[in-house]
Structure 1
Amino acid sequence: MRRAAVSRISALSAQRNLSRSSRLLSAKPAPVDSSTNPSSSQDDDASSSPPNRPSHRPEPSQKSDSEKELGPLARRLQEATEEALLEGGRAGRRAVLEDAGFSEELKAKLLNKLADAKFHGEHSAATSAIAHSRIPDSAGLGTRSIATAQPWTGTESTEDAVLRMLNDAHKPLAPGLRGRGKIVPEPVDMRFKTKSILSAGQKVAEARDKASLYTSLAGNKQKDVGLSDEEREAMKREFRERFTPGARAMPNTITGLAALANERIEDAIARGQFKHIPRGKGVERDTRGNNPFIDTTEYIMNKMIKRQELVPPWIEKQQELLKTAVSFRLTIRTNWKRHMARMISAKGGSLEEKLRRAREYARAEEVYNPKRKRKVEEISVSTNLTDDPVMVKMSLQVVSEATSTTENATEKNEENVVVGRPFRDPAWEAAERSYMELAIANLNTIARSYNLMAPELAKKPYFSLERELNSCFADVAPEVAEEIKARATLPAKSLADYSFLGSGKPIQRGGLRGTFGIGEQSRVWERQEPRYGFKEFWRDLFKKDK
């Protein structure tokens, strides 16, 4: 019903518009058909005109009303009529052709336009090919794309939007860099050049070398008159040895190698191979400097920052936070491992019993306090994003997976063996609590200052003492058995392995005297004197004779 009402309203509006346009278009003077009876028309004109006034003839500059340009309202109504005829469907056609009251001539024009539009819609490929064929071959790619593009309809198409986004993200190359590289032909000097003039010494040396080679290689004995048979054989053997793998033996001494190197360097200098060598220190060139897709200012600024090793302030704060957190966690893990190993060993028993006890504690720790598995990357989320359904779903998924993992581990352990309680020592926690609370407060202070300057996705959560202790217990429990075994199997340290007052110098066997270098042997003096006081001690301490 609603569709029928809407179509009826559109048909009525189209009919109203068409009636207006028909009134404007039909208000034209009917043309006089003078071809049927020209004589009568001339008589009527002559009778109607006064006798002393010549007959009026229409000038070429004066046009009839039908040839005049339509006004804006008439053009708009004509466009509305065509729109209703082309896009109005059956109701629009009925309103235009039947209810509007147009003349037969106007109806014929509208039907012709409708037929043309239908033909172009059915044969769009052929019409586009014809349009392409009309474009001259000398037209460029831009001209062809503009000529064959669709007219603007008021909305941007998907293809044009994607192309615009690609051009914004990846800047096109300059016109000179597009396409295949062109090989620039080298200019050829067509001028006549004279031969280089050789000096008399060069001519003599060149002639002598050529003559010796010719006489040594030629088989005609008449040309080898200047050489004896032994010299000729030696020269042939020398030329023959040049093509063997070990043709020229290298010198075996440093002096011979230096002489050979100097000889080759001098030959290269004579040939001019050292003329075009650049001087000074080599310049390191960065290939990204000529990249057309990187802005020059951005490249220079990034290079300056990298060369001077500059980082943003929040990166420096992040490094400080990570360093402090790693130091705190390493300290509490070391202390707890040492304390737990001592407490388990203090209960007595053999080494196997101690190791079994430590493994039971580790199994209980795994059941009651398992290690946290990071399924997703831990990033801090601002408070205004906690209600996001995606984030809520991710958090619920991680919690459910962790719960299922813990339940599976608990059921499996309960099936195998009865698990006791994990090892805890409230006395140690009470003794270390003041230090740990102070360290956690310091870490939270650094994290707060870091979060104030870091971007949203790089912010870090605050530290909790309970969470850090649970993580410490879970990480240390599997390592206690190895610590007890190492403490039991390592040899005991002697007194000489310890340093005196932290100076790094080991304690000598002579006690304080040996440590200070006074002497290695000690003597006990027995006397019958009534007392031995500080005076006697001072005398014996610095006594020179033994």
Structure 2
Amino acid sequence: MLTARTTFNKTGKLSRSSSSLHTPQRIPADSRRKEALRDEKHSSALVGSEKLFADAALEESQEAKGRARQEGRFGKITGRGKPITRISDEGNPFIAREEFLMNRIVQRNGAAPPWVELQRELDTALASFREIVKQSWTRRCMRILSSEHPLPLLARITPAQIASVRDPMWEAHEAGYHNTALAEINSLVRRYNGVAPYPVRRTIYEREPELEKVYSECVDDVLREIDARIKEGGVVRSVSGFTDGEDDRGGGGAGGSARYDSRPGSFWAMVRKWFAKLVT
């Protein structure tokens, strides 16, 4: 095929010349038919394999349904015959349907964002620390009260008196555990604050506020211990401090051994009897 090409000669005038353009190579009709037949065979093979797979999956699902029906599983479906439970987010126009379904799947499988997982770990560690300190102080407070008040007077003690009890020896003895545990908790706090949203971040926990919290919360526990001793007949502990071979180890609330002397004719038995006569 010839076409005209316009060029400029040396004199600056236009001149026209013809040149041949390359025509695209044509594929023979036989080759096109062969390619079409090959594609058709490949498609039919894929359709056949997909059909076999679908038939096998359908057969397996039917067998699974039959086994479940024989075992009575369809009669134990939660919510059967009841209206479907709806939640507020399902009708929220600002949450896309696919996002709602994804969030529901995540929630039902117990997954949560990283900061929520750290929050759970932090709450567990903090609750464990506070419970251990409460148990340790409850035991120590009972020993102090039992050594200072005989049973008749112990029964009349007030919550304000219990809340005012302090023991510098116990605080110094437990300081090592308190500082170590709070250091670990504060390390979790820093990790949590690094990934948590700003409104839910937490401050560092300190020992003195935690002890004051324990002193106020242990009042009810001490009163329950006193009531239990009164119902049992009352046994006053002969412990006034870390003496007489008693090792009141805290280190996580592990209290030491306390000695009871309730034998008839013992010193504390006579003291209790004398105070009982004095009060009555």
TM-score (norm 2): 0.48
Q: Which has the higher strand share?
A: 2
Give the number of the structure whose alpha-carbon radius of gyration is greater. 1
